[in-house]
Amino acid sequence: MSLTSERLDRIQPSLTIAISTVARRMIAEGKNVISLSQGEPDFDTPRNIKDAAIRAIEEGQTKYTDVAGTPALRKAVAEKFKRDSGIEYKPEEIIIATGAKQVLFNAMVGTLNAGDEVIIPSPCWVSYPDIVTLADGKPVLVPCSQNNGFKMRPEDLEAAITPKTRWFMLNNPCNPTGAGYSAEDLRPICDVLLRHPHVWVLTDDIYDSLVYGGFKPATIVAVEPTLRDRTLTVHGVSKAYAMTGWRIGFAGGPVQLIKAMDKLQSQSTSNPNSIAQAAAVEALTGPQQTVEDMRKVFEERRDLVVSMLNQAPGMHCTTPEGAFYVYPSIQGCLGKTSKGGKLIKDDEAFALALLDEEGVATVHGAAFCYPGYIRISYANATEELREAMTRIQRFCQGLH
């Protein structure tokens, strides 16, 4: 008899975490490795947020909180949604969880029955399909080509919807491509959703503060308020506030759905960390200048990385609207052999050879359900990125 369940056997460990682990092991062995594989800002958590956490400890805010989060944080989240996205939620329509990933898990486990379908545009974050699978749902991946900016076309969404469709899941801006949806982009998608009232919407907007070139991201409920009663708006403090390790995510949605997610959370993790919740209140309500400062640096890094990648033979990189990733095509490198004698048969072989021969860790596109590409995070120091891009150029120049 197998130790693990059939449900668990249907998924695999996160490939972004797996590759970062290999890179860290190589670094521990004394090898010169630049890791561009993990989605984590290299900036430190701002001082005012750390101070809020210290105060919370000293004031004894170390007890259990409400499962769905402290009243103060739920109120702060509601104010954040109104301020930044133009949508209104009451505190009882908000849930706080141990990272945005738990929000997604709670939503899927709490609503999916066996065989229910979830439409996911691909390329997509590695965890979306596996979370759906764990919840006994069926991920329906809809390819979104580079020719369309890696964005979902309304006609493709329409074609993917069936009577079994339960959710449409959208990441805006997107991990891994950085593609962002404006209000103009979302309008025809909302029109499709209006024609299919049985389909719920999960919009993961966690990168919406990190956008560039004057791009203005939008969110589903702001574009089409009548979809509010079947939309879950997901967010968190990890990216914009450099708080990945604090593990605070949140969402706004209909009370019935929030209560269902609260019920599930009460029997799994219970409340998120009380100290981290206090820090998140300060992040959302305190000075926001550090977000803008970080955004400006990321924009400079994006431009550097895109420019240097497009000088690498066999690679083609579009300019993303947001997040801190690029998703270059390596089609011109496939079928060739590296200087070290490795056949570049696919994107995984490319990523492994690049790591082995040049010490640059990336993530292969197949991990994001869209092969032929690699994901590069530019959440690294600028000079480190310049060196990494130089190594990638050298690696591609050595292919024959």
Residue-level pLDDT at 80:
98
Residue-level pLDDT at 17:
73
Nearest to 257 by CA among 228, 291, 285, 221: 228
Residue-level pLDDT at 27:
86
Residue-level pLDDT at 350:
96
Nearest to 347 by CA among 300, 314, 384: 314
Nearest to 204 by CA among 242, 154, 155, 168: 168
Q: How many CB atoms lie within 10 A of CB 105?
A: 23
Residue-level pLDDT at 6:
87
The string of pLDDT tens digits covering residues 351-398 is 999 999 999 999 999 999 999 999 999 999 999 999 999 999 999 999
At 112 the three-state DSSP class reads: coil
Q: How many CB atoms lie within 10 A of CB 348?
A: 17
Identity at 295, one-letter amino acid code: R
Residue-level pLDDT at 39:
86
At 234 the three-state DSSP class reads: strand
Please report how the helices 274-285 and 47-58 are oriented relative to each other, as an axis angle in degrees rounded to 10. Answer: 140
Residue-level pLDDT at 253:
98
Q: What does the block give as tokens for 30?
A: 């004394």
Q: In what order do the strands lie in the sheet with 363-364?
A: 325-326, 374-377, 363-364
Q: Which residue has the tokens 């029997």?
A: 267
Distance CA 390, CA 384 (A): 10
At 325 the three-state DSSP class reads: strand
Residue-level pLDDT at 266:
98
Q: What does the block give as tokens for 387?
A: 């060196």
Which pTM value belongs to this model?
A: 0.95
Point out which residues pair with 141 in neighbouring strands: 120
Residue-level pLDDT at 109:
97
pLDDT < 50 stretches in the chain: none
Maximum separation of any 2 CA atoms in the chain, in Å: 64
